Amino acid sequence: MFDTVRLGCDGQDLAVSRLMKSGFVKSTSERIDCEGVTKSRVQFRRFGDGESPSYLAWSPDSGNLVLEQSLPKVLWEHNYRLLSPGDMPKVFETLSEDISKLIGGGVPGVEDWYIRGRADAVFSWDTIWSGTGHQAEYLHAFKSVELPRHFTQAIDREATLYWRNSARLIRLYDKEKETKVKAARGLLRFEVQLRHTKAEVSRLVGLDTIKASDVLTWPVSRALLANYLDGLGADLVISSEENLARTLIDRCGKARGRRLLGFVYLSRLYSREELLTMGFERTMLWRDLREITKAGCSLGSSESGLLPALELPGEDYSGKPLQLEA
């Protein structure tokens, strides 16, 4: 589903006295336009630490009202629990009421606001089976996987993997280590933070509107998540060393399988940039990666053997993390 989103509505005429009583702070900034004229910009901002809404900003010149909020935190005090499609009407209603209490009535309901750039599509898997959480094994398996045109980084002793560029930030991480909450034990979280939601939703989903009630749905979230999970090969087999070798040889032949296996080992020893500086051609590296993916394998491997593929539920999504089993 979705977690943090940035929404906005235009043409709002608000009472400054009401805003100041509700904890808004006036800020003024200046910029020089293309003709060398200094322009002043006034905003009234409110940061609600641990509250709903967590951020509101109003510009009196344009009447633009902007909101940024973690949607699960509207209903609960945390975001390790995922929203279900059935939760969204209550989220919109509660958030709209919280905003009205701060700035007064007359503002459209949040479901009629529009996405302003950011939207975080998220999903979690429960990796506990046989009494043990396996999220660390997944993170270890995917640490050598790269996405085209994305910078790859592993931090927090591999508790978080990043793939990012100017358009999006993709994370795969251990939710318990991030939140320090036992209730999140075993949760492996996948998050796609879009910075240009309108463009991505149009390209991947074919949706022409960015109205909150149209975008913040499970089908849209699922399409966004599935696109980047596919790019990581998360729906493919994460193999043990022996299984990986046998699969590549069986499906690609001895000579080609041996070559691809060598590429897998090189990718675990060196980063993509290091391989390029060693004289390997970029096109050759991507060709080998595509061949490995086509064979039903991943660059990642698990010391304990096969790990279940990271898949997404269908239209009957309940809001619960998907249970993985060996």
- Per residue in 49-60, pLDDT (tens digit) is 888 999 999 999
- Interatomic CA distance for residues 135 and 188, integer angstroms: 5
In a domain, 25, yes or no: yes
| Residue 129: burial class (beta carbons within 10 Å; 0-12, 13-18, 19+) | middle
Cβ–Cβ contacts within 10 Å for residue 314, how many? 9
- Residues 87-125 pLDDT 10s: 999 999 999 999 999 998 889 999 999 999 999 999 999
Amino acid 291: pLDDT: 86
Answer yes or no: do 194 and 216 share one domain.
yes
Alpha carbon 266 to its chain's center: 29
Which range in 186-190, 230-234, 243-247 is most confidently predicted, on average pLDDT? Answer: 186-190
pLDDT higher at 72 or 233: 72
- Interatomic CA distance for residues 316 and 239, integer angstroms: 29
- Interatomic CA distance for residues 231 and 119, integer angstroms: 19
Answer yes or no: do 135 and 227 share one domain.
yes
| Residue 225 CA: distances (Å) to CA of 52, 281, 295 | 26, 30, 23
| Averaged pLDDT, 19-33 | 88
Helix axes of 197-205 and 218-232: crossing angle, nearest 10 degrees: 80
Answer yes or no: do 245 and 281 share one domain.
yes
Answer yes or no: do 124 and 94 share one domain.
no
| Averaged pLDDT, 8-34 | 90
- Interatomic CA distance for residues 294 and 307, integer angstroms: 18
On the question of pLDDT at 40 being above 90, the answer is: no
Domain count, the chain: 3
Task: State in Å, rounded, how far the first CA of the chain is from the last one.
Answer: 25
- Residues 58-71 pLDDT 10s: 999 999 999 999 99
Answer yes or no: do 106 and 120 share one domain.
no
Answer yes or no: do 14 and 51 share one domain.
yes
Answer yes or no: do 276 and 210 share one domain.
no
Give SS3 for 64.
strand
Answer yes or no: do 245 and 286 share one domain.
yes
Amino acid 49: pLDDT: 83
Answer whether 218's CB lies under 8 Å from 317's CB.
Answer: yes
* Token code pair at residue 6: 């940035």
Which domain covers residue 277, as residue numbers? 241-294
Answer yes or no: do 191 and 246 share one domain.
no
- Interatomic CA distance for residues 269 and 287, integer angstroms: 19
Answer yes or no: do 108 and 210 share one domain.
no
Answer whether 9's CB lies under 8 Å from 114's CB.
Answer: yes
In a domain, 280, yes or no: yes
* Token code pair at residue 152: 């790859």
Q: Which of 61, 51, 55 is nearest to 29 (CA)?
A: 61
Answer whether 219's CB lies under 8 Å from 228's CB.
Answer: no
Answer yes or no: do 133 and 228 share one domain.
yes
In a domain, 325, yes or no: no
- Interatomic CA distance for residues 133 and 131, integer angstroms: 7
Q: What is the mean pLDDT of the chain?
A: 88
Answer yes or no: do 87 and 138 share one domain.
no
Cα 132-187-241 angle, rounded to 5 deg: 60
pTM of the shown model: 0.80
Amino acid 225: pLDDT: 94
